[in-house]
């Protein structure tokens, strides 16, 4: 600063400030124009995009969830595409709606963008890429992007999505309805998500709705932070403990591949990696058997343990002996 007179500095700062403000207005209005052309409306909304607020007309209980992804914490902006970030940001919200067996309705998208964009993209192209990542997933699950806000600053990107769903006639599926003796069932396979699946989230929405309609489910959670940690959360919320039969835990090919690199077992990765976005369900024994026999989903349903009155997380040996299992996993922060 020493080479500049006070006048120069004032002029430069004033000019910079004015430039930022003009750019900010430009970015938001250009993005809004793009959104109006590219984001479909919905008859489910009384008032959608373009007013001061959205108006929803619910049929059933509203289920609301929110997630915040930040550059440097949840992703590295130079290592992934904005489409991947957009897909994931909406996918994790949809996975939470799936965990509650709620039918997706609307999403509200808030973006904070770096004024000067990334190495590759302007702030506007970054924003459009994020939306392009969200739109196919929104369409697949019957969800409308009904509003949001965009801001830019001299800092990293962040994307926050709030999703609204509706409970079905059976009501929401919660974490707290488990009973002693309930069987623990998991959809799909677990582990090794860092090899790609953590970005290609496939939320189990239609699977959860189908199971909730056809079977009596007592409690459920989506596996975001690792089977061990999420199983212990589900048990705790139901005031119970969980016993896992470890050889029964279904592992992905990625968990085995990662195991070869890490020197840990595929099972370790299934227990602790997280970001599987599969469902863990507590189901009364007879109903669990019916689900195992029916296999009504495109992905397998596997019995991996049961709820017990004895608090804590346990592993069961072949001889039936219980020993404590550490509730290790990936702490993303509060996932409520
Ligand atoms: Mg969750």
**Residue 176 maps to a domain:** no
- Angle of CA points 172, 178, 182, to nearest 5°: 125
Tokens of 291: 């689900």
Residues 52 and 111 reside in one and the same domain: yes
Distance 37 CA to ligand 1 centre (A): 32
The pLDDT value recorded for residue 335 is: 44
- Closest listed residue to residue 208, CA positions, set 300, 64, 99: 99
Distance 121 CA to ligand 1 centre (A): 32
pLDDT above 90 for 17: no
Average pLDDT over residues 306-310: 97
**Residue 10 maps to a domain:** no
Q: Which residues pair with 238 in a beta bridge?
A: none
In total, the chain counts a number of residues equal to 336
> For residue 257, what is the domain's CATH number?
3.90.650.10
DSSP 195: G
Distance 273 CA to ligand 1 centre (A): 15
Distance 249 CA to ligand 1 centre (A): 20
Tokens of 221: 């959670």
Tokens 């969830």, residue located: 65
Residues 188 and 122 reside in one and the same domain: no
Higher pLDDT, 110 or 12: 110
> What is the domain extent for residue 148?
18-167
Q: Where is the domain boundary, 116, 140, 167?
A: 167
Distance set, CA 56 to CA 107, 146, 160, 254 (Å): 11, 9, 20, 41
Residues 154 and 256 reside in one and the same domain: no
Distance CA 336, CA 333 (A): 9
pLDDT above 90 for 18: no
Phi and psi, residue 139, nearest 5°: -65, -45
Q: What percent of the chain has pLDDT over 90?
A: 81
Q: Which residues pair with 163 in a beta bridge?
A: 65, 107
> For residue 44, what is the domain's CATH number?
3.30.1330.10
Tokens of 169: 């006639």
Residues 159 and 210 reside in one and the same domain: no
The helix (H) or strand (E) run that includes residue 324 is: strand 322-324
Tokens of 194: 């860092």
Distance 336 CA to ligand 1 centre (A): 7
**Residue 4 maps to a domain:** no
Distance 222 CA to ligand 1 centre (A): 5
Residues 213 and 125 reside in one and the same domain: no
Residues 44-66 pLDDT 10s: 888 988 888 999 988 889 999 99
Note whether 166 and 60 are within 8 A (CB): yes
Residues 151 and 204 reside in one and the same domain: no
Distance 46 CA to ligand 1 centre (A): 29
Distance set, CA 133 to CA 9, 82, 85, 145, 266 (Å): 42, 7, 7, 12, 30
Distance 68 CA to ligand 1 centre (A): 13
Distance 277 CA to ligand 1 centre (A): 8
Using DSSP, state whether 190 is helix, strand or coil. strand
Distance 214 CA to ligand 1 centre (A): 22
Residues 243-285 pLDDT 10s: 999 999 999 999 999 999 999 999 999 999 999 999 999 999 9
Using DSSP, state whether 183 is helix, strand or coil. strand
Distance 25 CA to ligand 1 centre (A): 36
């Amino acid at each position: 600063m020493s080479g500049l007179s006070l006048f120069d500095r004032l002029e430069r700062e004033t000019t910079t400030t004015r430039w930022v403000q003009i750019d900010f207005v430009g970015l938001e209005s250009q993005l809004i124009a793009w959104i109006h052309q590219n984001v479909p409306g919905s008859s489910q909304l009384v008032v959608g995009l373009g007013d001061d607020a959205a108006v929803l007309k619910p049929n059933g209980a509203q289920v609301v969830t929110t997630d915040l992804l930040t550059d440097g914490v949840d992703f590295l902006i130079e290592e992934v595409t904005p489409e991947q970030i957009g897909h994931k940001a909406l996918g994790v919200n949809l996975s939470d709606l799936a965990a509650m067996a709620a039918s997706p309705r609307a999403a509200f998208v808030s973006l904070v963008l770096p004024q000067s964009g990334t190495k590759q993209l302007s702030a506007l192209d970054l924003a459009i890429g994020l939306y392009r990542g969200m739109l196919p997933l929104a369409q697949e699950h019957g969800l409308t992007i009904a509003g949001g806000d965009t801001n830019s600053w001299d800092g990293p990107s962040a994307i926050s999505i709030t999703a609204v769903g509706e409970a079905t006639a059976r009501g929401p599926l919660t974490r707290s309805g488990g009973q002693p003796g309930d069987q623990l069932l998991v959809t799909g396979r677990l582990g090794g998500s860092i090899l790609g699946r953590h970005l290609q989230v496939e939320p189990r929405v239609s699977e959860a709705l189908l199971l909730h309609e056809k079977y009596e489910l007592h409690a459920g959670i989506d596996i975001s932070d690792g089977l061990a940690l999420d199983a212990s959360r589900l048990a705790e919320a139901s005031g119970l403990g969980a016993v896992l039969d470890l050889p029964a835990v279904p592992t992905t090919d990625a968990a085995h591949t990662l195991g070869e690199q890490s020197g840990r077992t595929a099972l370790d990765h299934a227990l602790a990696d997280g970001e599987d976005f599969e469902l863990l369900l507590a189901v009364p024994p007879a109903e669990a058997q019916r689900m195992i026999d029916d296999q009504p989903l495109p992905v397998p349903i596997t019995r991996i343990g049961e709820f017990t009155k004895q608090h804590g997380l346990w592993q069961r040996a072949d001889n039936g002996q219980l020993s404590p299992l550490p509730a290790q996993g990936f702490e993303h922060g509060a996932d409520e």
